[in-house]
Structure 1
Amino acid sequence: MTTLTIRRAQRGRAIRRNITAYGFLSGALICFAFFSWYPMVWEIILSFQQTNFVDPPVWVGLENFRTVFADSAFAPAWLNTVTFTALALVIGYGVPFVVAIVLNELRHCRAYLRFVVYLPVMLPPAVGVLLFQWFYEPETGLFNTILGGLNLPALGWLNSTDTALVSLVIVSTWMNLGSGTLIYLAALQTIPGELYEAAELDGAGIFQRIWHVTIPQTKLILLVMLLLQVIATMQVFIEPFLLTGGGPENSTVTVVYLMYQYAFNFGNINGGNALGVMLMIVLLVFSTIYLRVSRENRS
């Protein structure tokens, strides 16, 4: 067999291998383009049009954006969304990491406890939200019953402007706790045990080991989860939709919930698209800044 024949055979195998790989990749790209890129492009187009999907669309430029800006609910919706995101970072970002550290240190019942932690993720979101609706009941709810047993005053939870948004954050944190915990667990198990042994020999306590070993070794996944947390929480919808309806006094109206109101309650789908474009731009700017800062920190 000549060298030329061998090269042709190798080239043929490489081509067949690449064709198979591109075949699998093309399916994912087609699905992503059809269900993600195509709707985003149409969202941008519809935000500059006025249409009822019966008559031909009319190009109105920035009119939909002006309508949304003039809405009295526009500023509160953004403020509530940013506040929800900040509270979710304070409450929901660190809790899965702490739970993962605890589970990683356990020697018994580890598999069972992982199942318990991940169980809320397996529930349909509507079921989890409605479960907390019973927990938050002013008279017969679980939380106020516990407070009464401790001789503490009952809280309004979903009926008070002071606690409604925090109550939604608690629901969101509980429903998403399992996913974050399992991701952190996977990252923790990649840390070499020698690093902890060396830290122990140097006299480091548990909190020092977490600070000097665990966090630096999981820095990349912590940064990625931070970005995903912000993107997910700024698109919160199910919790205010099912639990509060945006109340009380619009204290839980979020940007995505206001988009829903424009499209399905006000009959102004173009205004809803304009709001969606604004949110997309905000998340794009945040993601760009975040990725640049995290890249500089890694270098």
Structure 2
Amino acid sequence: MSAPTLSTTTSKEPRDTELHGDRPRPSGGAFTKHLRRNLTAHGFLIGAVICFSLFSWYPMVREFVLAFQKTEDGQTTWAGLSNLSTVFNDPAFWQAWRNTLLFTALALVLGFAVPFVVAVVLNEFRHAQGYLRLLVYLPVMLPPVASVLLFKYLYDPGYGLLNEILGLFGLPAQQWLQDPDTSMLSVVVAATWMNMGGATLIYLAALQGIPGELYEAAELDGAGLLRKIWHVTIPQTRLILSLLLLMQVIATMQVFVEPFLLTGGAGPGGSTTTVVYLIYQYAFNFNNYGAAAALGLVLLVLLAGVSAVYVKLSRAEDD
């Protein structure tokens, strides 16, 4: 009676093992099969890592090294903190930071608020939304040089459109880009128009994700337009608002293109000299790459601190 039992058991074990996959497979064959199946994905991943290494990570490491080096007569030596001392003792350093902070403050007032208001207005339209989005995003698609030429025409003190409009109301013409009192504001207006399209579309996407029942409940409570925006729209888009606020601060602290093309970089009396333009001057006008790297390192540390504060505040709100 035991012989059939033994033969039956031995005949079922291989079959059950094959069905349930309990038999261990060679690790080398499984790894090779897995590698072949994901070869395309690994190829794209390796390409991305190489691109980031060459164009992002290596320049950052190289900048950190250059900040503590000095090159004279083809000889590179360690300079310690002398590059940082050169930067901090330069009077243009503090002027550049004042201008950069002023640009950031004005850009937050205009470049952060205006796209949100435009998105709220566009969200109320029920027809031709696609054409309106294209119209708003069109300045972003224009080359910066073309946009700058447009604003140079608008700001021209002789035949500029803005002075022509002022003349219709009997107001005196203004030196928009030539006056230190108005040059920075003029640059901020141009930069806002050139870059507001992307933020507007992001805000618009966030607004369209808000449930309509919240607005209906607010209307039943007697809330007007401003109260609905304050109690419904802003709380529902708080995450997007805070994220774009951080991105706006980082982008405006690194402003270079608009002042450089509109006012030549420095502007009248140095009124539009920014930190990044001062880095450009150190590197390409003064051939002092150590000082340029040191100033870039200072900017990097400051922006990293701002990002760390944002992350900490975000985690505190989530908790």
TM-score by length of 1: 0.93
Distance 2:94 2:150 in 1: 31
1:109 aligns with 2:128: yes
**1:6 positional shift:** 9.4
SS of residue matched to 1:159: coil
**1:7 positional shift:** 9.2
1:264 aligns with 2:281: no
1:137 paired residue number: 156
Q: Bigger CA drift: 248-257 or 195-204?
A: 195-204
1:167-214 CA distances to partner (integer Å, 9 max, x unpaired)?
A: 111011000110100111111111112222222222221211111111
2:86 paired residue number: 67
1:123 aligns with 2:142: yes
1:192 aligns with 2:214: no
**1:5 positional shift:** 5.4
Query: CA 1:61/1:102 → structure 2, altered by over 3 Å: closer, same or farther?
Result: same
SS of residue matched to 1:2: helix
Distance 1:231 1:284 in 2: 9
- Structure 2 matches for 1:1-299, cutoff 5 A? 1-4=18-21, 15=34, 21-51=41-71, 55-245=74-264, 246-299=266-319
**Contact 1:259–1:275, Cα closer than 8 Å, also in 2:** yes
SS of residue matched to 2:61: helix
**Contact 1:47–1:64, Cα closer than 8 Å, also in 2:** yes
Distance 1:28 1:197 in 2: 47
SS of residue matched to 1:222: helix
**1:240 positional shift:** 1.4
**1:15 positional shift:** 4.7
Distance 1:150 1:15 in 2: 75
**1:102 positional shift:** 0.6
Distance 1:5 1:113 in 2: 61
**Contact 1:188–1:218, Cα closer than 8 Å, also in 2:** yes
Distance 2:24 2:244 in 1: 46
SS of residue matched to 2:91: coil
1:46-88 CA distances to partner (integer Å, 9 max, x unpaired)?
A: 1111126x72411111111111112121110001001100110
Q: Bigger CA drift: 104-113 or 78-87?
A: 104-113
- Please tell me the root mean square deviation across aligned C-alpha atoms, in Å: 2.2
Distance 2:189 2:23 in 1: 64
Q: How many residues align?
A: 297
SS of residue matched to 1:108: coil
**Contact 1:237–1:257, Cα closer than 8 Å, also in 2:** yes
Distance 1:121 1:172 in 2: 10
Distance 2:307 2:282 in 1: 26
**1:242 positional shift:** 1.2
**1:20 positional shift:** 5.7
**1:18 positional shift:** 6.6
Query: CA 1:110/1:51 → structure 2, altered by over 3 Å: closer, same or farther?
Result: same
**Contact 1:126–1:238, Cα closer than 8 Å, also in 2:** no
Distance 2:20 2:44 in 1: 32
SS of residue matched to 2:269: coil
Q: Partner letter of residue 290 of structure 2? A: N
Q: Bigger CA drift: 237-246 or 256-265?
A: 237-246
Distance 1:130 1:257 in 2: 20
**1:92 positional shift:** 0.9
Q: Where in structure 2 are there 5+ consecutive unaligned residues?
A: 1-17
